[in-house]
Amino acid sequence: MAVLDASAVLAYLRNEPGAPTVRQALIDGATCGAANWSETMRKVLRRGDDWTVARQLMESFGLVIEPVTRTDAEYAAVLWPEHPSLSLADRLCLGLAHRLGVPVLTADAAWGESDIIHQIR
């Protein structure tokens, strides 16, 4: 299992580099945090794409949308001083991955790479 951030979901939806990696994660059982899900929806709509189609495609894989918990929020707050360039949604995504004990898949190079952060490109 892996957590998908918004950039990974969008890479899959747009068939960008890294899409096959995201597809495999979806097949294996992926999750996305509610904050990243909202960010994904906003970016799909901003491009003028059909959100209903995008949502149904992701749901067809059984993608689980996880709510933000107090644990996630507190983890995100602790990350703020160390990673001020990451958005709140990004830090919440890392908090979710930490809580679940699984890696995060991202297409955002600013995140870097570590044992928990896996770049899809």
Whether residue 84 has pLDDT greater than 90: no
Residue 105 lies in a domain: yes
Whether residue 120 has pLDDT greater than 90: yes
Residue 74 lies in a domain: no
For 91-107, how does the pLDDT look when each residue is reduced to its tens digit (9 = 90+)?
999 999 999 999 999 99
Residue 48 lies in a domain: yes
pTM of the model: 0.95
Residue 7 lies in a domain: yes
Residue 59 lies in a domain: yes
Tell me, what CATH number does 34's domain have?
A: 3.40.50.1010
For 10-69, how does the pLDDT look when each residue is reduced to its tens digit (9 = 90+)?
999 999 999 999 999 999 999 999 999 999 999 999 999 999 999 999 999 999 999 999
One-letter amino acid for residue 6 of the chain: A
Query: Is 23 exposed, middle or buried (CB count within 10 Å of its CB: 0-12, 13-18, 19+)?
Result: middle
* Contact residues for 91 (Cβ-Cβ < 8 A; gap 6+): 75, 76, 77, 79, 80, 83
User: What pLDDT, on a 0 to 100 scale, did the predictor assign at position 83?
Assistant: 82
Give me the number of domains the chain comprises: 1
The range of the structural domain enclosing residue 45 comes to 2-67+101-119
Confidence of residue 78 (pLDDT cuts 50, 70, 90): very high
Residue 33 lies in a domain: yes
